Amino acid sequence: MTNTLSTTFDPAQIEARWYSHWEENGCFRPERPDAEPFTIVNPPPNVTGSLHIGHALDNTLQDIIVRYERLRGKDALWVVGMDHAGIATQMVVERQLEAKQDKRTNYSREEFIEKVWEWKAESGGAITRQLRRLGCSMDWSREQFTMDDHFVRAVTKTFVDMYNAGLIYRDKRLVNWDPKLKTAISDLEVEQQTIPGGFWHFKYPLEDGVTLDSGADYIEVATTRPETMLADMAVAVHPTDERYRSVIGKHVILPITGRRIPIVADEHADPELGSGAVKITPGHDFNDFEVGKRAGIAPADMLNMLDAEANVCQTADGLVPEEFLGLHRFRRDELNGAREAVVARMKADGLLIPHVAKTKKGEEIEHDAEPRQIATPFGDRGGVVIEPWLTDQWYVDAEKLAQKPIEAVRSGEVEIVPKTWEKTFFNWMENIQPWCVSRQLWWGHRIPAWYGPEGRVIVAEDAEAAQSLAGPGVALVQDEDVLDTWFSSALWPFATLGWPEKTDLLEKHYPNNLLISGFDILFFWDARMLMAGYFNTGSKPWKKLYLHGLVRAEDGSKMSKSKGNVVDPLTLVDKYGADALRFFMAAMESQGRDIKMDKSRVEGYRNFATKLWNAVRFCQTNGIGASQSIAAPPARLAVNSWIIGEVIETKAEIEKALADLRFDAAASAIYHFVWDRFCDWYLELIKPVFAEKPSPLEGRGLGEGNGEASPGR
């Protein structure tokens, strides 16, 4: 390594050279056995992922802290690794097969999984190389993967232990079903989009001899999803709505299917919305599911009218007419779907109440539906409308697991920074719903459950243990599903350290000291780590949680590929250097507030780095080298006494800022010291010392000689 700086500041060459030197010499490994430990884990990026601007922010903040603690003499460990990303990875490999006119179902499960491992070996993990380019000082010698053998054992043990503790169970409930991926997904993986839709009004005939007080022999219902009426099981009205009080407990004859369904009283029906009467489809709507249960309909008896691909199938009572079977739920390509077919049939039967609109000229025009903008759930990966679907899935009793994390945050045992996020944390945790953890995929941690005769379910760590519990000769079939990837990543703070084995690393580095994450994964990951940590280890996973904001486009909007406003951090690194980007991130990060991307400021910090480079070159050419001690040398010149005082003051500012996790304040202290005091004042004041002529300072009795100008002396 040369000590002479070149005349040109070339961040790409400099950063690559130094990073390689640091990694090759093991500078990022915790090798101070007697020192106080400091531990931080990175949110494991997907094995399919590439560095995005959010990663750049998150990992920059982590790197600042871990380098700082390392410099303070601590045995600092920054755990690095990747998540197997069940849905995303399976999608990537299936697309590769499709490009070759092939498909997953042409292979056995084992053969397909082998193809996934082949893909990982060839193409997976590009993001780890990109994290190196960002300068992240992670312990690469212990890189983790959530499908490593020791991690699989940790996941399996957690599932079995939770099951035996009554915290995991199988239940028939509505899930968010992605018809494209053909799997259940989490509530947190659903994105609400507002799209054009309609509000249809239908007549539901009352059974013979029943009329409303108004004399009408039907109830008017309004819906944004007419196709689901094929599985309607009730009509709900508000218990205080005078228009319908006389018919509560009576029945309507559902059009098209002829199904006789009750009129129930439920506060879910809003008297001010539409007609005040609501069709209830408990097998295809989350609110209706709860209304149905309150009306005494057991989940096992709720009707399902769609298959896994969202095509109409026959309901359990066999009342869906054959002409609707096989239709997709919506119009697709040039083919009408179930929605269009239901509306057409209701119109033909005289049961559609048209929407009357007036033109600018005052003319009345009838439309089948009232145009509306409808909030619609989409899968964040499949990109299609999510279908509430009634299936048997595995659930975690999140309500019970949430109790200790709630107590820990409330007591201060776990600190959330900024504190303003505590209210959001408590609101979600105190109203938490059961967590569906099963996914209908092949790639991932297979659920350790086996099914035997007469519906017997056996949960065990492996097939041998399951067979032992079932008894010899009992035929068992393992569950086909895998676990939600957030279930396995919830174990990250301790499984990466060797748990469930009692390793020295686990003993020393757990609980972790700090977790840094975006606020957008507070419930995806952070809260679930708290649950898993307390359940598996009896202890918090980390002492402090810092939640940073999002990096947004220059106009403050959210970055998205569809808007074309995504910024590639690697492009910025190529142009300005990693240090310039990192300094921008630190300077703009202010206690969790969102950051507006500003390339001109990144360029400005590149200029700052150039300024510092040139300052060091100036010092080198005048014989100033690295200090041989941490303590400042004796100062005879007043200007040196002044700059030493400025260093001490700046150091105190930085220490306070980082103790408070005020990255912007730390960056500001460094910037102003380097630019304003060191470069603009100190270097200018000592230039006469290097000139072989009397210093203007000497006449004031501020010192003599020129050697003392070196901070190293």
Q: Which of 67-71, 214-218, 590-594 has the lowest mean pLDDT?
A: 590-594
Contact criterion met (CB below 8 Å) for 545 and 414: yes
Confidence of residue 4 (pLDDT cuts 50, 70, 90): confident
**In angstroms, how far is CA 606 from the centroid of its own chain?**
31
Q: Within a domain: residue 3?
A: no
Is the residue at 567 inside a domain? no
For position 561, what pLDDT does the model report? 74
Q: pLDDT tens across 79-135, in order?
A: 999 999 999 999 999 999 999 999 999 999 999 999 999 999 999 989 999 999 999
CA atoms within 13 A on the CB side of 565: 14
CB 354 within 8 A of CB 366: yes
User: What proportion of the chain, given as a percentage, has pLDDT over 70?
Assistant: 96
**pLDDT tens-digit readout, 406-423:** 999 999 999 999 999 999
Q: How confident is the model at residue 707 (pLDDT cuts 50, 70, 90)?
A: very low
pLDDT on residue 703: 31
Q: Taking a C-beta distance cutoff of 8 angstroms, is the pair 346, 352 a contact?
A: yes
Select from 356, 379, 402 the last residue of a domain: 379
Residue 202 lies in a domain: yes
Q: pLDDT grade, residue 708 (50/70/90)?
A: very low
Q: How far apart are CA 508 and CA 161, in angstroms?
A: 25
In this prediction, residue 1 carries a pLDDT of 39
Q: How confident is the model at residue 330 (pLDDT cuts 50, 70, 90)?
A: very high
Q: Answer yes or no: is 9 within a domain.
A: no
What is the number of other CB atoms lying within 10 angstroms of the CB of residue 75?
19
Does any domain span residue 425? no
Q: How far apart are CA 632 and CA 637, in angstroms?
A: 13
pLDDT of residue 188: 78
Q: How far apart are CA 65 and CA 76, in angstroms?
A: 10
Domain membership of residue 483 (yes or no) is no
Q: Minimal CA–CA distance to 168: which of 436, 429, 350? A: 436
Overall domain count for the chain: 2
- 243 by DSSP, 3-state: which? coil
Determine the residue type at 483: L
Residue 466 lies in a domain: no
- Confidence band of 335 (pLDDT split at 50, 70, 90): confident
Q: What is the CB neighbour count within 10 angstroms for residue 295?
A: 17
- Residue 332 sits in a domain whose CATH number is 3.90.740.10
pLDDT recorded at residue 3: 64
* Percentage of the residues of the chain whose pLDDT score is greater than 90: 84
**Tell me: the pLDDT tens digits for 510-556?**
999 999 999 999 999 999 999 999 999 999 999 999 999 999 998 88
Higher local confidence (pLDDT), 556 or 696: 556
Token pair for 482: 């895998």
Is the whole-model pTM more than 0.85?
Answer: yes
- pLDDT reading at 710 higher than 70: no
pLDDT (mean) for 416-441? 96
Computed on alpha carbons and rounded to an integer, the radius of gyration of the chain in Å comes to: 32
Residue 386 included in any domain: no
- The CA distance from 582 to 573, in Å, is 9
Q: Of the residues 379, 399, 417, which one is the last residue of a structural domain? A: 379
C-beta neighbour count of 552 within 10 angstroms: 17
Identify the band that residue 564 occupies on the pLDDT scale cut at 50, 70 and 90. Answer: confident
- Asked which of 379, 398, 413 is the last residue of a domain, the reply is 379
Instruction: Flag whether pLDDT at 231 surpasses 60.
Output: yes
Task: Give the domain range for residue 308.
Answer: 184-379
d(CA 632, CA 526): 43
pLDDT in tens, 346-405: 999 999 999 988 877 778 888 999 999 999 999 988 899 999 999 999 999 999 999 999
As a whole number of angstroms, the distance between CA 429 and CA 423 comes to 10
